[in-house]
Amino acid sequence: MSLVSQMAALAIRVATEIKTLVRPEHPGIARAWVTFGYSGSAIQISAAHNVASVTRLAAGRYRITFSQPFADANYCWLAFARSTTNSGSARTALARSTSDAKTAAYVDVVCATGNTSLSDTTEMNLVVYR
């Protein structure tokens, strides 16, 4: 058997093993994600998975509603907010403990500047794991 044939056989075996280990229900696979921004007085969704809508609740406050709600609110979400200008203040994605909700159907996320004032952003990215 040639080296090329052996490498091809190995690649097929590795792919077969991975396919049996990583399934859609694996906890390391994102259950929902979205990239969006607020521009021109409207939410612009660039791409998403399992996200029905993004609603601007107020300046810098957004509600992400899932297409298929989770069984409960025991999920992990991560977010990143991009600054609106190259020389502007940094943006941070976060949630305040009492003002922003996290339910099986949606999560509220805020975008804040370095001095913690809420501010819209042209790009927010959110990923949810469960």
**CA 92, CA 113: separation in Å to the nearest integer?**
6
3-state SS string for 38-52:
EECCEEEEEEEECEE
Residue length of the chain = 130
**CA 5, CA 86: separation in Å to the nearest integer?**
51
What is this structure's pTM?
0.78
More confident residue, 25 or 36: 36
DSSP type of residue 87: T
Tell me: pLDDT of 90 over 80.
Answer: no
Confidence band for 76, pLDDT divided at 50, 70 and 90: very high
